Structure 1
Amino acid sequence: MKNASNTQNNTIVSLKEFTANPAPLGLLGFGMTTVLLNIHNAGYFPMNTMILAMGIFFGGMAQVIAGIMEFKKNNTFGATAFTSYGFFWLSLVGTIVMPGLGMGEAASAQAMAAYLFMWGLFTLGMFVGTLRISKNLQIVFGSLTLLFFLLALGDFTGNEMIATIAGYEGIFCGFSAIYGALAQVLNEVYGEEVLPLGNVTTVKKAAKVEVATSK
């Protein structure tokens, strides 16, 4: 019975080791879609099917898939972040498309402000979690928190200048996520730090191990 138990445990560990890192997929889905939407917010082109399609498939579905994979890897933060923002994109597309399909009235500016404000609060909470993960994610979630609050303020006040500023800030946020995704891919492929992420967790864990060993 003891040997059978050990064999089963080894199999579980082996399966976990061969599960790919889903974070780059989730970050790319978020980052690329965020950049494109905020180029629109900055006033460079109108809302169009390209943004909606990216919101459904890459910003939405790809992030949800990444989130489900994070659940399997026992990563609560990643699972919560990717599934939540994946459904954020799907819900955002819904607010744009559904009124045209006769599925309710279009959301007012005040309603959208409340919607964006709630996402800002959620993102602020997630930002606190990034303080134990990496500097790259601190930049992503910090700038995303600011983006949501700026967009909410722009909708609430009707001030187009705020919306434009939010657009440029959102472009920065999206590119910071793209950087994080590519850094993780390249660092894994080359087996060394090609692009720094400023990981915090590994440093703290190493310190804990050292203290435990000295005791």
Structure 2
Amino acid sequence: MKDVQTAKAIPQIPSIDLGQAAALAETVIKDTTANPAPLGLMGFGLTTVLLNLHNAGIIGIGSMILAMGLFYGGLAQIIAGVMEWKKKNTFGMVAFTSYGFFWISLVALIVMPRFGIADASDKNAMAAYLFIWGLFSIVLFIATLKMNRTIMLVFFALVVLFILLGLGDATGNATITRIAGYEGIACGLGAIYLGAAQILNEVYGRKVLPIGEL
């Protein structure tokens, strides 16, 4: 009798439907954070356009470009990369964080010699710097072949940009650097377009700007 009473005293655990449990788990872990990609794309695009206006011989390099490279091209992209890490987006994390530090390192290459921290890099060192970033960009370009046509074009243009800039520095040919400047402006505008598309398409809930989904 005692065993029967004890059994009755133990609360019965209701059976849980596996489908309901899966739906509950999905609700609990659902990502509700904002898309950081437009921030990274705009930081990259705007800064790239401004720097390449200089490379094209249209404007000089000064505090405006250096500040953009340090804060919007640099810091903003790093923030976007960290946010992409939270969203488990390896490509976005690597791309935005790396190019953010690219901009900061580029500013350091210009500013450090002026403060006597280090000697200025010669043309061969700058060519190596640009070529190695071109190699890195080729890896990311290959990854974009699984994404959309707009980002594919942006990264293809970026690879071409690094190669042209590296050739311009290696040969000392100002014409190549100027051509790279105009190509870089197109690359930056492509990134701005992609960032704008992601913002507007999300806000309006429809395809305002097409990006060529595969």
User: Does the alignment reach a TM-score above 0.5?
Assistant: yes
Deviation string 1:22-60 (CA, Å, 9 cap, x unpaired) is 000000000000000000000012110000000001000
Within-5 A mapping of 1:191-210 = 191-200=205-214
Which of 150, 163, 184 aligns to 2:198? It is 184
Larger Rg over CA atoms: 2
Which of 22, 28, 32 aligns to 1:11? It is 28
Q: Structure 1 CA distance, aligned partners of 2:107 and 2:170?
A: 20
Deviation of 1:8 after TM superposition, in Å, equals 6.1
Q: Structure 2 CA distance, aligned partners of 1:26 and 1:187?
A: 17
User: In structure 2, what is the equivalent of residue 204 of structure 1?
Assistant: none
Deviation of 1:71 after TM superposition, in Å, equals 0.3
Tell me if 1:149 matches 2:159. no
Tell me if 1:76 matches 2:90. yes
Deviation of 1:9 after TM superposition, in Å, equals 5.5
Q: Structure 2 CA distance, aligned partners of 1:152 and 1:161?
A: 13
Which of 124, 135, 141 aligns to 1:127? It is 141
Structure 1 runs (4+) greater than 6 angstroms displaced: none
User: In structure 2, what is the equivalent of residue 48 of structure 1?
Assistant: 62
Q: Structure 2 CA distance, aligned partners of 1:106 and 1:52?
A: 16
Q: Structure 1 CA distance, aligned partners of 2:112 and 2:91?
A: 31
Which of 104, 114, 121 aligns to 1:107? It is 121
Deviation of 1:101 after TM superposition, in Å, equals 1.4
Deviation string 1:83-103 (CA, Å, 9 cap, x unpaired) is 000000000000000111111
Q: Structure 1 CA distance, aligned partners of 2:158 and 2:25?
A: 42
The one-letter code sitting in structure 1 at the alignment partner of 2:161 is: L
User: In structure 2, what is the equivalent of residue 26 of structure 1?
Assistant: 40
The answer for unaligned runs of 5 or more in structure 2 is 1-12
SS in 1 for 2:88: coil
Deviation of 1:126 after TM superposition, in Å, equals 0.5
Q: CA RMSD in A?
A: 1.5
Q: Structure 2 CA distance, aligned partners of 1:193 and 1:8?
A: 31
* Structure showing the higher helix proportion among its residues: 1
Aligned residues: 196
The answer for unaligned runs of 5 or more in structure 1 is 201-215
Q: Structure 1 CA distance, aligned partners of 2:26 and 2:191?
A: 35
User: In structure 2, what is the equivalent of residue 158 of structure 1?
Assistant: 172
Aligned-pair identity in percent equals 59
